A and B are shown apart, each in its own frame.
Chain A
């Protein structure tokens, strides 16, 4: 265990804005009310404030008078190996980095970002859960955590093109938009790939896929390793530069969008003049601008349909209104909201790498029970979303709990309703 590297990381990432937020915490514990893992299990160690305890200790013991006095008096111990492995369990297996806690904190502390900081330290200490680390390594060596190598990519795209009778342009120079799918879509929800391709063609978009930038998922970001996060983002940006596109369109993947859109510019040199956007916003743009025509009310009559907000695309991505506008057109009668929703939505429980860690399964299923409550309350027959990681969690849990709910990507619903 490289505990010293962890402490080093914690101390070095504590700039003024982190320190100010740590100082603002009054340890009121209200953030626990926001955390689906705490709510589902009642384990007080899952309170978001406790998840950043290592960061607080490292900061106070290094920078504050009271922290040093506490250590000198033996009231508090320096961070130990045991602490590192304990917080590895808490921060990777019981946190999806959904950041709902930040909304609930009376001081407005951006807890999700601070928890990501703790993950950075745990990653520096090489204390990442084995399952997650295996996926990260696979992305380093094969280019994708789900094993989408060049050969697999070609094979899958050829098959999808045949099966859904849709053209999938690859490595087309002069295209305006580089579309990057997540391997979850490529391997598990190929219908989504076909649907998005159909929509883009219909909208008259000049787009292309890329072999080099074939994977948008960023397991380095889950892990909290800045080095690997940048490595994976660079593959996408390099592909975009080589193809000379004007923008990168992230498909139904949340964490990847968070990394590319909201973190890349602060972590690395990003190519100038390339915009990063998300399909959730584009779907509404196409409908609004009349670039695609959809049948109004196409989804009415099939029972209640509801929308699940993905933490990284809605609460942290800003596409809260757009999917609702789309559903307002597709299902003006059948669309009903779960409560709470929008920026206050309850997380699916599978994001942030949690679904990749076998040991986290009990937490993941427990958290999903909150979602089941919400689905039952609204009487949902169909639940749709714009994140394939959420969708993976929903699909798995629908089977696990034997629920009679259809899970669909929003792009698929739009493609089906296209005239």
Chain B
């Protein structure tokens, strides 16, 4: 098989098609939720909604994912909270601050930015993969997660895991010839992009809705979110 032409397809037309499906699908979901209507809140507040929203994001984005013991509730099993936080940190570091990924962004957006040295990105990637395995094991054994987990949840995990592991293999030149490894990586990325609008991985968009609502509701009551 000619891996060169396969690669051209995977990083060319197929990638752009996947990107269009991804953006179109996410836009559809965004608009659909907006169109369901929003009731105005007529209740006078005790505290500031805006202040609540600010604290909500501060906690949600910075403090809470990485420091489980800021909330007493989580002293029991901090590992899973650390794994969840580490996974996301790894994902964003590799996707944004990894040099090869930045070049993809540059080709799409027309501008680039400074990146981290490869060894750091590489360790972050390894940490992300480890965190993901921990989360998968937790999903297998936790009684609540057993109840909540269906085919869709496993597919989410698998389709996110594949680009990560194939990317790692590619960087380390393991198992496959370069073109073949690259092709496999791009194919898994494309499949993931197409799958996201149909799945709960789309939570990254709705996160901003729910955290805003949360902050506003708690802030309104003068309670720390």
Interface of A toward B, CB cutoff 8 Å: 14-21, 23-30, 32-34, 38, 42, 44-45, 47, 49-50, 63, 65-66, 75, 100, 102-110, 113, 261-266, 314-318, 320, 339-340, 343-344
Whether A21 touches B210, Cβ cut-off 8 Å, given contacts A27-B200, A29-B142, A340-B73, is yes
Given contacts A16-B37, A108-B215, A33 and B151 within 8 Å (CB-CB)? no
Please report the C-alpha to C-alpha distance between residue A14 and residue B224 in the assembled complex, in whole angstroms.
26
CB distance from A114 to the nearest CB of B (A): 11
The closest CB in chain B to the CB of A320 belongs to B223
Tell me whether B73 and A344 are in contact (CB under 8 A): yes
Contact between B221 and A23 (Cβ–Cβ < 8 Å)? Answer: no
Residue of B41, B76, B202 near A23 (CB, 8 A) is: B202
The answer on a CB contact under 8 Å between B144 and A316 is: no
Q: Are B72 and A265 in contact (CB under 8 A)?
A: no
5 A-B pairs whose Cβ atoms sit less than 8 Å apart in the complex: A20-B33, A24-B210, A29-B144, A109-B210, A262-B43
B44: chain A residues at CB < 8 Å are 265
Interface range, B side: 35 or more
**B46 contacts the other chain (CB 8 A):** yes
Per-residue A-contact encoding for B32-59, CB less than 8 Å = 1, 0 else: 1111111101111011000000001000
Given contacts A107-B210, A265-B43, A318-B46, contact A44 B72 (CB under 8 A): no
Complex contacts, A107 vs chain B, CB 8 Å: 60, 203, 206-207, 210-211
Contact between A104 and B144, CB atoms less than 8 A apart: no
Say if the beta carbon of B198 comes within 8 Å of chain A. yes
Which A residues lie within 8 Å of B81 (CB)? 30
- In whole angstroms, what is the CA distance A18 to B203 when docked? 14
Min Cβ gap A146→B in Å is 28
- State whether A42 touches B73 (Cβ < 8 A): no
CB distance from B159 to the nearest CB of A (A): 14
Closest to B209 in A: A20
Q: Please give the distance in Å from B69's CB to the nearest CB on chain A.
A: 11
Contact A24 B203, CB 8 Å, known A15-B39, A106-B60, A265-B44: yes
CB-based contact B207/A266 at 8 Å: no
Q: Give the contacts of B197-223 with A (CB-CB under 8 A).
A: 198-200, 202-203, 206-207, 209-211, 213-215, 217-218, 221-223
Once A103-B71, A108-B225 are accepted as A-B contacts, the answer to whether A63 and B203 lie under 8 Å apart by CB is no
Q: How far is the CA of A5 from the CA of B35 in the complex (A)?
A: 23
Contact between B145 and A29, CB atoms less than 8 A apart: yes
Q: Are A49 and B148 in contact (CB under 8 A)?
A: yes
Nearest A residue to B85, CB-CB = A106
Say if the beta carbon of B105 comes within 8 Å of chain A.
no
Q: Which 4 A-B pairs have the closest CB atoms?
A: A108-B214, A20-B209, A24-B206, A340-B72
Q: Which residues 142-183 in B have Cβ within 8 Å of A in the complex?
A: 142-153
List chain B residues, Cβ under 8 A from A266: 39, 41-43
- Knowing A65-B198, A266-B43, A343-B224, the reply to whether A20 touches B213 (Cβ < 8 A) is yes
Closest to B201 in A: A26
Chain B residues whose CB sits within 8 angstroms of the CB of A100 once the complex forms: 73
Inter-chain contact B60/A16, CB cutoff 8 Å: no
Cβ-defined contact, A29 with B223, below 8 A:
no
Is there contact, CB below 8 Å, between A20 and B210? yes
Complex: chain B residue closest to A321, CB-CB? B222
How far is A294 from B178 in the complex, measured between Cα atoms in Å? 80
Nearest B residue to A50 via CB reads: B147
Q: Please state if A110 and B221 are interface contacts (CB–CB under 8 Å).
A: no
Given A15-B37, A24-B206, A75-B151, CB of A63 within 8 Å of CB of B213: no
Residues of B within 8 A of A38 (CB): 144
Is B123 part of the binding interface, using a Cβ–Cβ cutoff of 8 Å?
A: no
Q: How long is the Cα–Cα vector from A344 to B37 in the complex, in angstroms?
A: 32
B74 within 8 A of A: yes
* In the complex, chain B residues whose CB is within 8 Å of the CB of A108: 56, 60, 210-211, 213-215, 225
The closest CB in chain B to the CB of A340 belongs to B72
A32 touches B144 (CB 8 A): yes
A288 to chain B, nearest CB (A): 16
Tell me how far the C-beta of A51 lies from the nearest C-beta in chain B, rounded to whole angstroms.
12
**A23–B38 contact, CB under 8 A?**
no
CA A339 to CA B220, docked complex, whole Å: 25
Which residue of A has the minimal Cβ distance to B35? A16
With known contacts A23-B29, A29-B148, A106-B65, A16–B38 Cβ distance under 8 A? yes
Nearest neighbor of B47 in chain A, beta-carbon distance: A318
- Does B64 reach chain A (CB closer than 8 Å)? yes
**Residues on the A chain within 8 Å of B224, using CB:** 343
Give Cα A102–Cα B143 distance, bound, in whole angstroms.
Answer: 20
Please state if A27 and B32 are interface contacts (CB–CB under 8 Å).
no
Closest to B75 in A: A340
Q: Residue A262 contacts which of B142, B148, B198, B221 (CB distance < 8 angstroms)?
A: B221
- A193 to B: closest C-beta gap in Å: 26
Q: How far is the CA of A249 from the CA of B199 in the complex (A)?
A: 48
From A15, A44, A63, contact of B143 by CB (8 A) = A44
- Known A16-B33, A107-B203, A316-B221; contact A27-B60, beta-carbon cutoff 8 A: no
Contact B43 A28 (CB under 8 A): no
Q: Are A45 and B36 neighbours in the complex by a CB distance under 8 Å?
A: no
| CB within 8 Å of A: which B99-147 residues | 142-147
Across the two chains, which residue of chain B brings its CB closest to A314? B223
Q: Is the CB of A103 within 8 A of B38?
A: no
- Minimum CB distance partner of A16 in chain B: B36
Interface-central residue, B33, B144, B152, by most chain A CB under 10 Å? B144
A27 contacts B153, CB within 8 Å? yes
Asked if A26 meets B147 with Cβ closer than 8 Å, knowing A19-B36, A20-B33, A109-B214, the reply is no
Residues on A with beta carbons closer than 8 Å to the beta carbon of B198: 65-66
Closest beta carbon of chain B to A275's beta carbon, Å: 9
- Provide the residues of chain A in CB contact with B71, threshold 8 Å: 103-104, 344
